[in-house]
Amino acid sequence: MGFIFNKKLFFYQHIDYYSNRAIFMVKYMKILGNSLHSIILTQKCLLYRCCILPITLYGFQLWFYNHAPLLYPLKILSKMQRRAAIWILGAFKTSPSKGIKAIAGLISISLHLQKLRGRLQLCILTLLPNHLIQTLMDLPFSLPKHQYPVSLKSLTSRQRSNVKGHLVDSNNKLYRIFSFFSFLHPELSLGSRIIDNFSDCFSFNLATRNKNDKIRF
């Protein structure tokens, strides 16, 4: 599938390969246009988003996750994005990176990766309940399944905090988005609620409304 692995699974060779392909694509796009004028700025931005970013970020799920060493990947990808911004604006090579990226309307590569990762994590909910990824996760709203020895349900909180990978990030994100509580919990039954145990801490002021009072929204 075009994934380049190494022994330590840092994916540095994978990132170098696809970032270099994207840089070559930027260089080749300079020949677009005719003999009188080049393509306009909006067309350059569209080409960057449609033709360069998909090549650069191919397989980013393998190396962009929590606790992963991201210093080298973000450095290489930021260098690629700087060259693309210089090509879009036709600016000097000594121009500041943040300034030309802001003028060209390019989001930071780290924020763009976080956006893509968040959208990808939500796609897990579209999988079937018997899918392998669903069975390995520990979601409160999922159906009860057979517990595998390597699933997140079988790990303690300390072990789960030490696990690195995309699956743990997806599980944590879905926990934050979809809150869960049990309707049959004892704290929600009559006589065990907060208002029942600490009734002296609550006070209610009942007000009567006249017929002439208007309802305000």
58 and 87 co-located in one domain: yes
- Give the pLDDT of the chain (217 residues) as one tens digit per residue: 888 888 888 888 999 999 989 888 888 887 776 656 678 888 888 888 888 899 999 988 888 887 778 889 899 999 899 988 888 888 888 888 888 888 888 888 888 998 888 888 777 777 777 777 777 777 655 555 556 666 777 777 777 677 777 777 777 777 665 555 566 777 777 777 777 788 788 777 776 666 665 555 4
Predicted TM-score (pTM) of this structure: 0.66
131 and 102 co-located in one domain: no
Host domain of residue 42: 12-122
72 and 165 co-located in one domain: no
| Two tokens, residue 152 | 């997140």
For residue 119, the one-letter residue type is R
78 and 153 co-located in one domain: no
- Examine the fold and report which residue of 60, 87, 122 is the final residue of a domain before the chain moves on: 122
Tell me the C-alpha to C-alpha distance, in Å, between residue 84 and each of 53, 57, 106, 107, 157. Answer: 10, 14, 10, 12, 43
Tell me the C-alpha to C-alpha distance, in Å, between residue 12 and each of 9, 38, 153, 169, 185. Answer: 8, 35, 32, 21, 49
101 and 58 co-located in one domain: yes
Question: Residue 142: inside a domain, yes or no?
Answer: yes
Q: How many residues does the chain have?
A: 217
109 and 149 co-located in one domain: no
Our measurement of the distance from residue 38's CA atom to the centroid of its chain's CA atoms, rounded to an integer in Å, reads: 35
52 and 97 co-located in one domain: yes
